[in-house]
Structure 1
């Protein structure tokens, strides 16, 4: 199978952009003011206050509500994967539709299969992230049920327990966030079916949108203010 050089280059650009952004957001900029770092502070505060409550039904209810959102994405990902597999069996019809679009470049059957397989890999990755996130939220519900009583909420052991529970929630959110990022980059692949150059631009746009929302958004500013962080 001969793949055009421009398609090889955009795939490399896609992988480097996706992997590079995830590494930057989760490691290089980990200690800066980000949505993940700011929300980690809120989760630790939540777990400390959970220890002081006699009735912790509200905490379990909140976690269950979050889990429903993650489960929805996991279920949706399964449908997307089923649709992509179905498209592999009807490439001729899909190609006929796309070639009628403006700026669409005619490609070979094999290249179309490569594009679909790339999308499959991205959404399989997203599904595994969502599934692991669901399990971690389940573990957190157990931690809420096994939390020390309110009479011990100020002890060093209880504070360590709250910090550990908050860390489990943070890891669950981390995996959920990774799945959401995969959705952004997976949807960018749709532009590849039209034109590889459009795909390269779409990847840049996705990185810019994610960076803006995770590092420069008004939501981040509001969350930081609620936590009492310095504006600078």
Structure 2
């Protein structure tokens, strides 16, 4: 019970709303994406088209270059996330100065040093999660590259030795999983901005969380990019 006494009830409520919104939206995006076309589901369709076209090509140098280019995005974000994690760990080592600086910001709720450290730890946890997602995405792109490199020559598909559709779907699904994991890491970055609003007040924290959910929904289910990709 002493742990719960660290924060007032409204701070705990805002924190609970934050994690419920994050996990709830992740579940909703997967569930609703199966019923209504989302940005990820639509691009997955193009990934399968791409792998199907790759079965007709030999050599497949251009496909390897594209896969390597896609893998560079999670690699960049993983490196950037390590820098952010290092900065947050440094902030934990100088919480007195950091808390003093934050208190000078207008409209910021005055909190104890322990509460400030808790808020930094929440941010640290978010970026650690993002780092794991980005690095797993990198590995998944590596697996997709292996499948692409092992893809049989077009003649063996034409002879019926290998099923073209089955192989293309398998490779496309791997690329889709890598993209979904990368999307999870990006989503963590979005929610980290909402967590930063906790410094001001629990109310601002909750409002920022709701705004982030709205932005994510509009981009994944109602963006102009999605409209263009679905325009058959």
> Does the TM-score normalized on the shorter chain lie above 0.5?
yes
Pairwise CA distance, 1:135: 0.4
Paired residue for 1:130, among 134, 138, 145?
A: 134
Report the alpha carbon displacement of residue 31 of structure 1 after superposing the two structures with TM. Answer: 3.0
1:26-45 equivalences in 2 (<5 Å) = 26-45=30-49
Name the residue aligned to 1:89. 93
How many residues are paired up? 226
Q: Deviations over 1:89-119 (max 9, x none)?
A: 1111111111111210110111111111111
User: Pick from 3, 16, 19: which aligns with 2:7?
Assistant: 3
Specify every segment of 5 or more residues in structure 2 that has no aligned partner in the other structure, as ranges. none
Contact 1:14 1:200 in 2 (8 A): yes
Please list every run of at least 4 consecutive aligned residues from structure 1 whose deviation after the TM superposition is greater than 4 angstroms: none
Do residues 222 (structure 1) and 208 (structure 2) align?
A: no
Query: Who is 1:159 aligned against?
Result: 165
Q: 1:179-224 deviations in whole A, cap 9, x for unaligned?
A: 0000100121111112221111110110000000000000000011
Q: Distance in 2 between matches of 1:39 and 1:2?
A: 45
Secondary structure (helix, strand or coil) at the match of 1:53 reads coil
- Please state how far the C-alpha of 1:28 moved relative to its aligned partner: 3.6
Correspondence 1:1-232 to 2 at 5 A? 2-153=6-157, 155=160, 157-225=163-231, 228=232
Write the deviation string for residues 12-52 of structure 1: whole angstroms up to 9, x where unpaired.
01011001000000124323110111011100100000010
Contact 1:84 1:120 (C-alpha < 8 Å) held by counterparts: yes
Taking the aligned partners of 1:29 and 1:173, their CA distance within structure 2 comes to: 14
Mapped contact 1:188–1:202 kept (Cα < 8 A)? yes
Give TM-score, length-normalised by structure 1: 0.94
